[in-house]
Chain A
């Protein structure tokens, strides 16, 4: 295998594709956590999104409905989480863990009849440009619309949090729900919205896996990506741009180490498989070591139950 320039282009393109579900899920969870809610159900919401997207595609033969449906399914399952934690004031951690376990089980049950059915080809954009421009072609073009959306999302999220009034409200609620409530902000409503948004993004991340990345349904196909997304949010210290960097590093090293394994590097396979996790954490810890910034970005009320004085 020659490491020529077009190969590197293709490699980078595939790294980008593999990091899409992480970016989507982590960006969604980031908004949820910024409002002070810790939802550990990312993995569960992703896998529900994956199966419902795939099932809807098989049933309706319409990819648009499948994508929208997967997001809706994420919204519905996160609504359970929202109702439990915001209205019934249950513990965030326990509820989130239950959501993941529930999601994995439910998806396996729903997916029984969809195992082995081939997926449909998802339309890619600018495929002619991909072939005609060396190096940059495979990087910039020939991807699904979801990928472009995913790469825009961290910047949009950043803009939303830093520049818009609503973003300010979300951050305020995450900082001090009591103060926010005393200022007349409906804390529970804001948190519900953030939870549902997070659910929609996790659903989309799941659908990306089952409709675009590996177009088929395999039980437990998210394979821990939800947990990686959760870790990314924390290690990126709740900064959307750092989430993007972390997701790319993780995706990049995952792909690279596969190539290294294929080439037959004299490094134990176990070490290579552990490498993405290790490197992502190291890099994010290094780029996020400004303790002042950490303090400013960390939602102070994260995971704490809020109830209004009567």
Chain B
């Protein structure tokens, strides 16, 4: 039976922010719809309304011309609207089966039978009796999807489903989604990743600042057209001038970097040697889990690797901790913004103060010099165009892009000689990515150096002067980036050889 979902004039206003401004959209089964927008465009608010988690201030939702009063999640469930949240709605300490059975109205035996049917049909396989916290992100997402499928949904909403998945898992997800679509389930796919829209979806609605700005067929769209609609302005194409200056000083030199760990989840690093010149960007490519974490932590001083020599500005710094390394004008931007780079529960200026120097005088005689820190923070917010000027705001309320700008700002305002960043644009939208890339290029233009560890090959090719690939803890030879192609990188990242 065909399903027709219509959203009519939905508005939702939060104090200081119009999350949804008169949104009207129509969806029909048999197609996969993309809802595209930057972080904070109002996509998540809209799907929370559709799933009954929050209620709109205005507007109506119709399913097959029946007006739905979606006042609670229970209500959405009854109307066969299933939702897979971006941050999983699972009970980590309960087993997979318990997670699935918690709102089932049948006995455990027949539920197990039905779950196994779904497993067979879609080629899933998950141990039902292990606790969810032992699952990978992809498996957790499957549990969420199965939970929806058990209720034979008419509508399935996926909120940024690939942000936590590996490429392999993403492919599997797309295959499943296409199957669901063929079976007549209406799929609404929320994302800010343009390529996914083009490869998966049939129709795309773009949201910006709470409004729907365009609805179109994906076959008529390209990455650039969608990006421009999403950001609302023409995005400047960024291309870096590559500067190979053979005679420049080496500012940073790593010799015999070795790291051995007993933890099976950590990767051993074997004899890494590389150096970075003044004003240069060294890119380190690789599929995640090949030792990037460990490498970043050793370079930043979180882990002290024995028998390793790290020379920075002619000083041996291998034994120094992150704070001491910062005093020597190194700066770090870790991958995990929320738990490594910033403390989400702290206010913006408090997060800024975490990165204090002897010279910054944030603390005097053991007391916090709040005024000074706040002035300093305000400067960061305006210099790095973070979209708030309220330094009292808790950092957790910043979107990913703004938080990354804040972190980079905090690191860069001390004018470091070397910035080491790890996946700086992970999970960000196009606008923010562009800004971060521009900033990183600007650093090199000012004759400062960067080490960019990234899993995004496009980003590496755009920003690096020289590139090396890390695979299973070993570093390939370092190549000038104009000799590197995405194909070459792919071979090296997969463990192959190009010589």
Identify the A interface with B (CB < 8 A). Answer: 165, 168-169, 171-172, 175-176, 178-185, 295-298, 300, 309-310
Contacts and interface: CB of A to CB of B under 8 A. Distances in A.
A176 B77 contact: no
B327 interface: no
B156 to A, nearest CB: 15
Contacts of A297: 93
Contacts of B131: 296
Contact of A296 (B85, B93, B103): B93
A175 B94 contact: yes
A179 B90 contact: yes
A168 B73 contact: no
B98 interface: yes
B304 interface: no
B485 interface: no
Given A168-B98, A183-B102, A295-B133, A178 B72 contact: no
Contact of A309 (B48, B93, B98): B48
B64 interface: no
Contacts of B22: none
Contacts of A175: 91-94
A181 B90 contact: no
A307 B103 CA distance: 21
A281 to B, nearest CB: 24
Contacts of A183: 73, 89, 102-103
Given A168-B101, A309-B54, A184 B77 contact: yes
A184 B73 contact: yes
B341 interface: no
B89 A182 contact: yes
Interface string B24-65: 000000000000000000000000100101110000000000
A310 B102 CA distance: 24
Contact of B94 (A168, A178, A184, A310): A168
Interface string B79-106: 0000001001111111000100111000
Given A184-B72, A296-B131, A310 B54 contact: yes
B151 to A, nearest CB: 11
B74 interface: yes
B92 A300 contact: yes
A181 B54 contact: no
Contact of A172 (B48, B88, B94): B94
Nearest to B88: A179
A161 to B, nearest CB: 11
Contacts of B54: 309-310
A97 B85 CA distance: 37
A168 B53 contact: no
Given A184-B72, A184-B77, 9 more contacts: A165-B102, A172-B91, A172-B98, A175-B92, A176-B89, A181-B73, A182-B89, A183-B102, A184-B103
B53 A309 contact: yes
A300 B93 CA distance: 8
Interface string B107-141: 00000000000000000000000010100000000
24 contacts: A165-B102, A168-B94, A168-B98, A168-B102, A172-B91, A172-B94, A172-B98, A175-B93, A176-B89, A178-B89, A179-B88, A179-B89, A181-B73, A182-B85, A184-B72, A184-B74, A184-B103, A185-B102, A295-B93, A296-B93, A297-B93, A300-B92, A309-B48, A309-B53
Contacts of A179: 88-91
Nearest to B72: A184
A165 B97 CA distance: 12
B282 to A, nearest CB: 40
Nearest to A171: B94
A207 B93 CA distance: 35
Nearest to B99: A172
A201 B101 CA distance: 29
B263 to A, nearest CB: 15
A144 B53 CA distance: 50
Q: Which 6 A-B pairs have the closest CB atoms?
A: A184-B74, A179-B89, A175-B91, A184-B73, A172-B91, A182-B89
Given A183-B73, A184-B77, A171 B48 contact: no
A179 B85 CA distance: 10
A181 B93 CA distance: 17
A165 B94 CA distance: 13
B119 to A, nearest CB: 21
Nearest to B101: A168
Contacts of B101: 165, 168
A183 to B, nearest CB: 6
A300 B53 CA distance: 22
Nearest to B87: A178
Nearest to A310: B54
Interface in B169-189: none
A198 to B, nearest CB: 20
Contacts of B85: 182
A180 B74 CA distance: 11
Contact of A182 (B53, B92, B94, B98): B53
B55 A310 contact: yes
A169 B102 contact: yes
A238 to B, nearest CB: 10
Contacts of B133: 295-296
A169 B94 CA distance: 10
B397 to A, nearest CB: 14
Contacts of B93: 171, 175, 295-298, 300
B477 to A, nearest CB: 43
Contacts of A165: 101-102
A159 to B, nearest CB: 15
Nearest to A179: B89
A181 B85 CA distance: 13
Given A183-B103, A184-B74, A295-B133, A171 B53 contact: no
A171 B91 contact: yes
A274 to B, nearest CB: 34
A176 B90 contact: yes
A184 B275 CA distance: 56
Contacts of A176: 89-92
User: Which of A165, A179, A298, A309 has the largest number of chain B CB atoms within 10 A?
Assistant: A179
Contacts of A180: 91
A178 B53 CA distance: 10
A168 to B, nearest CB: 6
A257 to B, nearest CB: 37
Nearest to B89: A179
A310 B88 CA distance: 19
Contacts of B72: 184
A182 B73 contact: yes
Nearest to B133: A295
Contacts of A184: 72-74, 77, 103
User: Which of B77, B89, B93, B131 has the largest number of chain A CB atoms within 10 A?
Assistant: B93
Interface in B227-268: none
B273 to A, nearest CB: 39
Contacts of B94: 168, 171-172, 175
Contacts of A169: 102
B375 to A, nearest CB: 33
A180 B99 CA distance: 10
A181 B73 CA distance: 8
